[in-house]
């Protein structure tokens, strides 16, 4: 456990506003080893690529036991901290979240992505409900004795076209960041947010390190650093790019004899 605690502390220290940690998301032990060997300081699973690589759809469709077994293999293959995309914690009630987090920490991971969308719907939990869920996750980490990094994610921006992102939406995000921080979150994840001015206002409005995902149309890494971002992740982009490459090469091979 002492090594897991050290890794958790090391991972948290990587989050610096203006000097973001880069997390090139992985999905299994093999991809973890490849990204680590490329120079990664830490590893992060993505729920979508983990599920898709094993034949499931995203959105907690991969059974939790499968996801945790996969995380355990990744941790065993890695020499750097590993954080787990735990989606909605595979539970609705705070007590079940607390229990599931403790099971997840048994795999050796030192952090979590934890989202505020209601799995299986297009809706989000209200701020008060989600803050209680974040608090339950922190309770589970405390009970396990691991200072795990809880990256509290809001899907406000991801579920809306970038052209519709406005001040009211940003105000909602800032309110969520404040509530989640008070509940024990370590970071705030706003996937889908691409507007530079809004990213800067979000980073300025919260003490939590802000995570932005590098989707097409998102500012580049130097720009995000200047805006105050502390963490940049890639989500399912690496997996989808690899899959496209694999299909192209397979097509070339299969058609070579035609």
In three-state form (DSSP H/G/I as H, E/B as E, the rest C), the secondary structure along 90-120 is CCCCHHHHHHHHHHHHCCCCCEEEEECECCC
pLDDT of res. 36: 98
Cα separation, 73 vs 182, in Å, equals 33
Mean pLDDT of 31-45: 98
Q: What's the mean per-residue pLDDT of the chain?
A: 97
Residue 148, pLDDT > 70, answer yes
Two tokens at 125?
């939990």
Task: Give the relative orientation of helices 94-105 and 127-144 as an angle to the nearest 10 degrees.
Answer: 40
Two tokens at 158?
């991801």
Residue 257, pLDDT > 80, answer no
pLDDT in tens, 197-216: 999 999 999 999 999 999 99
* Closest residue by Cα to residue 227 from 248, 205, 258: 205
pLDDT of res. 110: 98
pLDDT in tens, 56-87: 999 999 999 999 999 999 999 999 999 999 99
**Bridge partners of residue 14, in order along the sequence:** none
Mean pLDDT of 95-99: 98
3-state secondary structure of 159: coil
Instruction: Output helix, strand, coil percentages for the chain, rounded to the nearest 5.
Output: 50, 15, 40
**Is the pTM higher than 0.75?**
yes
Mean pLDDT of 95-101: 98
Cα separation, 84 vs 151, in Å, equals 10
End-to-end CA distance of the chain: 57
Burial class (CB in 10 A: 0-12, 13-18, 19+), 75: buried
* Closest residue by Cα to residue 97 from 50, 139, 59, 69: 139
Is the CB of residue 183 less than 8 Å from the CB of residue 135? Answer: yes
pLDDT in tens, 23-32: 999 999 999 9
**Bridge partners of residue 233, in order along the sequence:** 23, 213
Q: What is the CA radius of gyration of the chain?
A: 18
Domains and CATH numbers, the chain: 2-251 (3.20.20.60)
Burial class (CB in 10 A: 0-12, 13-18, 19+), 220: exposed
Cα separation, 9 vs 72, in Å, equals 19
Phi and psi torsions of 230, nearest 5°: -115, -5
CA angle 171, 139, 236 (to 5 degrees): 60
Cα separation, 10 vs 82, in Å, equals 11
């Amino acid at each position: 456990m002492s090594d897991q605690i050290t890794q958790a502390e090391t991972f948290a220290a990587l989050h610096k506003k203006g000097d973001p940690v880069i997390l090139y998301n992985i999905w299994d032990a093999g991809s973890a080893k490849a990204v680590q060997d490329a120079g990664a300081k830490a590893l992060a699973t993505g729920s979508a690529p983990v599920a898709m690589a094993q034949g499931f759809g995203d959105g907690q469709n991969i059974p939790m036991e499968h996801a945790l077994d996969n995380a355990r293999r990744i941790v065993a293959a890695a020499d750097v901290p590993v954080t787990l995309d735990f989606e909605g914690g595979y539970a609705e009630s705070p007590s079940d979240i607390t229990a599931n987090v403790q099971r997840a920490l048994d795999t050796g991971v030192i952090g979590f992505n934890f989202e505020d969308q209601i799995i299986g719907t297009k809706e989000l939990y209200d701020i008060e409900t989600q803050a209680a869920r974040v608090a339950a996750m922190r309770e589970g980490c405390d009970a396990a004795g691991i200072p795990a990094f809880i990256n509290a994610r809001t899907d406000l921006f991801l579920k809306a076209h970038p052209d519709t992102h406005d001040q009211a939406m940003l105000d909602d995000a800032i309110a969520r960041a404040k509530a989640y921080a008070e509940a024990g979150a370590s970071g705030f994840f706003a996937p889908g947010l691409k507007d530079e001015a809004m990213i800067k206002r979000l980073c300025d409005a919260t003490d939590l390190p802000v995570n932005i995902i590098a989707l097409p149309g998102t500012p580049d890494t130097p720009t995000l650093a200047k805006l105050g971002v502390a963490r940049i992740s890639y989500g399912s982009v690496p997996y989808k790019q690899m899959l496209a490459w694999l299909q192209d090469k397979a097509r070339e091979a299969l058609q070579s004899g035609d």
